[in-house]
């Protein structure tokens, strides 16, 4: 293990197994529907998204949007910035938002509420990680990879100050790594 990690929470093998299960579940649930439009919420979801879409055996389409509420701290700022030009691409579509982690829930609540006003046919959320202990918005994911404790995690797309996104496992950073 790298010496900047306190522990590894999920190995890449555990993640791959669960992502495969999620992909199969989504494929099964949409097999008689219009194939979903999968939207990757950048940047944190990029690794999960790339793996997940390849486990869904449906003629789906993909789009990207940017959202952030963190800045460079490890505690959610409460402000959500959304950058998206998807408005006319989501009308009448079965949309699945793909998020790396739901923490306070503010980001996904904001995006969901916004999209629901824009004429989507259906809207679901798929999150790799869920930290329910820290929820402040009343929001849930329809598909969840893993429920995790209230720890700041990095790897598999998740960052601390834009680093560690390429770490293949999901780990808990030693507190001294973000102390200053
Ligand atoms: P929320 O709006 O508080 O739910 O925050 C969601 C966003 O915060 C996620 O998309 C992540 O980008 C980021 N985030 C939340 N918890 C963590 C964490 O433990 N590690 C890295 N990023 C996190
Ligand atoms: Mg994110």
Ligand 1 pocket check for 76: Cβ under 6 Å: yes
What pLDDT, on a 0 to 100 scale, did the predictor assign at position 73? 58
Determine the distance separating the centroid of ligand 1 and the alpha carbon of 58, expressed in angstroms: 29
Ligand 1 pocket check for 102: Cβ under 6 Å: yes
Average pLDDT over residues 73-86: 64
Fold (topology level) of 12-152: Rossmann fold (3.40.50)
Q: What is the pTM of this model?
A: 0.93
From the candidates 103, 133, 150, 169, which is the catalytic residue? 103
Long-range contacts of 172-178 (CB under 8 A, 24+ apart): 172/5, 172/6, 172/7, 172/8, 172/9, 173/4, 173/5, 173/6, 174/4, 174/5, 174/6, 175/6, 177/4, 178/74, 178/152
Averaged confidence pLDDT in the chain: 91
């Amino acid at each position: 293990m790298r010496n900047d990690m306190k522990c590894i929470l999920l190995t890449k093998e555990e993640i791959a197994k669960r992502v495969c299960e999620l992909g199969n579940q989504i494929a099964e649930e949409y097999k008689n529907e219009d194939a979903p439009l999968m939207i990757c919420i950048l940047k944190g979801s990029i690794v999960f998204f790339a793996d997940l879409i390849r486990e869904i055996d449906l003629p789906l389409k993909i789009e990207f949007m940017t959202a952030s509420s963190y800045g460079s701290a490890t505690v959610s700022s409460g402000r959500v910035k959304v950058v998206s030009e998807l408005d006319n691409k989501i009308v009448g579509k079965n949309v699945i938002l793909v998020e790396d982690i739901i923490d306070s829930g503010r980001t996904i609540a904001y995006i969901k509420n916004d999209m629901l006003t824009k004429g989507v046919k259906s809207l679901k959320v798929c999150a790799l990680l869920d930290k329910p202990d820290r929820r402040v918005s009343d929001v849930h994911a329809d598909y969840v990879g893993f429920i995790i404790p209230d720890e700041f995690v990095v790897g598999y797309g998740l960052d601390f100050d834009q680093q560690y996104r390429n770490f293949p496992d999901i780990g808990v950073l030693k507190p001294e790594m973000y102390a200053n």
